[in-house]
Amino acid sequence: MRNYFFQRISRLCALGIYTVLFPTFASAAVYYIDPLTGQDSNDGSSTSPWPSLQYLLDNDMIESQEWDSLPYTESSTLVAKNQGAVVQPGDTLVLRNGNYGELGIVGYYNVAPITITVESGSTAVFRNIQIRSASNWIISGITVNAAAYADDTFETLIDLDSHGWSGPIHNVKVADCTLYSIEDSSGWSQDDWINKAKSGLSVDGSNMTISENRLVNVRHGISVGASYSLVEKNSVTNFSGDGLRGLGDYTVFQYNTITNCYDVDDNHDDGFQSWSVGSDGSVGTGVVKGIVLRGNTIINYEDENQPFRGTLQGIGCFDVMYQDWLVEGNTIKTDNWHGISMYGAVDSVLRDNVVQDLNTETPGPPWIKLGDHKDGRASTGNTVTCNIAPRFEVNEADGNILLYNTISEVGSGRHSACPALADMTPILPLLLLEEN
């Protein structure tokens, strides 16, 4: 390809670098936590579990690293924390049935991943989780349910946070977790959606992995400011804001499913949205680079009688310049003009996407559109090929290529000249490329 982003991908392919690999320790131990039978004096074994996860953190029982001084600066160095503690880098903490309340992990930079997972057949329920200024943590199989606890004075179910004082976050994975504001929102009023819906995942930092999680009845689904990260195979069902947000550079969003938008306030809801804040602090004055949107499914609604049914913008990119993006193989079913809209796209590829109109009402029918940035800068140097949509709005006079697309209301009848998506030059995820 013609730009630096695609050149970097080619070099990665040649080196055989495809996935994130966490280091492992051959002597890693497994410890158990049981809120019902555990005791502080126990040794953490299967027959003698500890009572809580937060107890280990509060009592310095996990060996890790921390910054030599605070506030964090770029010249800060990591030093030993809780050296010789019982839980070591590479160990696994297995949770048994019970309620675990709020979990806060701050300032734990592990030299190898520590895994927090759930014993087979058990359900470990948290109120909310915050991991701030940390690295090398894996969270797997837990449930976060805000409605299970009376105190819900927080906004996000899982918050992975960089902080100016305590430092950045990186190399954290959240997988196979279930997140609810409430399990069943069928009885919620408009005020309930506004006041009770929590956002699902907020992800800062770099080299983060968000995989195969299930989010139900949330405000915003998965908001990612992280760069060089992977967001894949997640589902967001019933949301009142944006399903996905991608604000960092070189992050891959692939094979996610976003369904059922609830329109309860003035937010213009998007299945996927991106924007930037430039060096002057103004929205839309920066550049978001190298995002991959691949194989995602975004559906405005599944039931035409859904309460508070909104008109969802599919992929909405308005307040930024978007450089070196790849948008491929996505399916958008919406009742809006914006099927895939990029206002200020540069040197990007939109290929093999399907955009469908869910009904004959306005707004709509949806388009695939490359528009001008709000400051007047044109979308230039882009390729729009082998897509299916009711409408296309692409200015070829600005150096954009519009080729082998099909105009269709129902998303069928692919152009005969288009190769299969699998035969097109693959673009692989950019992961763990940054030095931390």
pLDDT at position 7, please? 46
pLDDT at position 423, please? 65
Instruction: Please enumerate in sequence order all residues whose Cβ is within 8 A of that of 394, keeping only pairs 6 or more positions apart, or say none.
Output: 368, 369, 370, 379, 382, 384, 400, 402
At 26, is the pLDDT very low, low, confident or very high (cuts 50, 70, 90)? low
* Domain locations along the chain: 27-180, 205-431
Give the 3-state secondary structure of residue 152.
coil
Instruction: Please enumerate in sequence order all residues whose Cβ is within 8 A of that of 343, keeping only pairs 6 or more positions apart, or say none.
Output: 317, 318, 369, 370, 371, 372, 373, 374, 379
Question: Among 64, 62, 41, 61, which Cα is nearest to 51's?
Answer: 41
Q: What are phi and psi of 43, to 5 degrees?
A: -100, 5
pTM (two decimals): 0.92
Which two structure tokens, joined as six digits, stand for 329? 């193989």
What distances in angstroms separate CA 197 from CA 23, 55, 124, 205, 218, one per listed residue?
Answer: 37, 29, 21, 25, 5
pLDDT per residue as tens digits for the range 285-331: 789 999 999 999 999 999 999 999 999 999 999 978 999 999 999 99
At 9, is the pLDDT very low, low, confident or very high (cuts 50, 70, 90)? very low
pLDDT at position 436, please? 38
At 412, is the pLDDT very low, low, confident or very high (cuts 50, 70, 90)? confident
At 393, is the pLDDT very low, low, confident or very high (cuts 50, 70, 90)? very high
Residue type, 417: A
Question: Among 163, 27, 188, 174, which Cα is nearest to 107's?
Answer: 163
At 17, is the pLDDT very low, low, confident or very high (cuts 50, 70, 90)? very low
Asked whether residue 428 carries a pLDDT value surpassing 60, the answer given is no
The long-range contacts involving 374-379, CB below 8 angstroms and separated by at least 24 positions, are: 374/284, 374/318, 374/319, 374/343, 374/344, 375/284, 377/321, 377/344, 379/342, 379/343, 379/344, 379/345, 379/346
pLDDT per residue as tens digits for the range 175-187: 999 999 999 999 9
Please confirm whether the linkage preceding 365 is cis (ω < 30° from 0). Answer: yes
Question: Among 112, 115, 64, which Cα is nearest to 86's?
Answer: 64
Q: What are phi and psi of 196, to 5 degrees?
A: -115, -20
386, 423 Cβ separation under 8 angstroms: no
pLDDT at position 363, please? 93
92, 28 Cβ separation under 8 angstroms: yes
Alpha carbon distance 233, 310 (integer Å): 24
Q: What are phi and psi of 219, to 5 degrees?
A: -75, -90
Asked whether residue 415 carries a pLDDT value surpassing 90, the answer given is no
CA 14 to the chain's CA centroid: 28
Asked whether residue 262 carries a pLDDT value surpassing 50, the answer given is yes
Which two structure tokens, joined as six digits, stand for 80? 């030993």
Which two structure tokens, joined as six digits, stand for 337? 């003009």
